[in-house]
Amino acid sequence: MTDGASRADLSSLLEVEIAPELLELALTHRSFAYENGGSNNERLEFLGDSILGQAVTVMLFTEHPDLDEGELAKRRASLVSTVALAEIARSIGLGQYLRVGRGEELTGGRDKSSMLADTVEAIIGAAYLSRGGDEATALVHRLIAPLLADPERFGATMDPKTSLQELSARRSLGAPSYVIVDSGPDHLKRFHATVIVGGDEIATGTGSSKKQAEVAAALEAWTRLTRTSA
């Protein structure tokens, strides 16, 4: 964790009391464990992913009796996506609490969408082990509430590329374009997307596929353009 970022601060933000050792583990990326020894958060991530999916599924089913299976599945996929979870993580400043290795620190790992999303899931898993299913589910609801409370942002999270294209058209900026580069070995390749709008490089995104990188870049571009708007 960076200076000034304590587990107590994070617990207060999350509004749930997670056992200190579990919270520390949830914040530990494999790069830190590799360099310093000990365990990483991947098992907690596995657990949290399951809890997240169930909580979101039940919530959508209960609160939207008018939606058919296809629309429910679409909304669930959006809310549990890497893009949405990374957005949630950034909204609470989660990156400053991560325990990452030196290499990840130097390459901006604290703001990588995949790392942030995985950590959110690990925290949900830690909350389940610390406080049980009801409080873990309540945590999920609190985390996704800001997305649901902002219909325009929720729409952007569901389909960032389309939302960015529509926003660009409204501002007469032309269609967004994407420049993709990749790095790493074939079995562990990472893709980096830069989105260009109106001739300017607006934002970047990373992912394990070209599509994931473009989606991450599109949401970041949409966010920046809406902040400079109106």
Is 3 assigned to a binding site?
A: no
Is 118 assigned to a binding site?
A: yes
pLDDT at 138 over 70: yes
CATH number for the domain that contains residue 103: 1.10.1520.10
pLDDT at 5 over 60: no
Asked whether residue 93 falls in the same domain as residue 34, the answer is yes
pLDDT at 34 over 60: yes
Asked whether residue 102 falls in the same domain as residue 200, the answer is no
The residue among 32 and 75 whose pLDDT is bigger is 32
Asked whether residue 131 falls in the same domain as residue 58, the answer is yes
Asked whether residue 144 falls in the same domain as residue 220, the answer is no
pLDDT at 154: 72
Number of domains in the chain: 2
| Residue 91 domain-assigned (yes or no) | yes
Asked whether residue 131 falls in the same domain as residue 204, the answer is no
Phi, psi of 182 (to 5 degrees): -125, 160
pLDDT at 86 over 70: yes
Provide the annotated active-site residues.
49, 121
Which domain, by its residues, includes 173?
Answer: 158-228
Radius of gyration of the chain (CA): 18
Is 24 assigned to a binding site?
A: no
Asked whether residue 189 falls in the same domain as residue 114, the answer is no
pLDDT at 195 over 90: yes
| Residue 70 domain-assigned (yes or no) | yes
- 130, 149, 168: which is the final residue of a domain? 149
Q: What is the mean pLDDT of residues 101-128?
A: 90
Nearest CA to 223 among 95, 43, 84?
Answer: 84
Give the length of the chain.
Answer: 230
Asked whether residue 162 falls in the same domain as residue 143, the answer is no
Question: What predicted TM-score, i.e. pTM, was given to this entire model?
Answer: 0.75
Supply the mean pLDDT for the chain: 89
| Residue 205 domain-assigned (yes or no) | yes
pLDDT band at residue 91, thresholds of 50, 70 and 90? confident
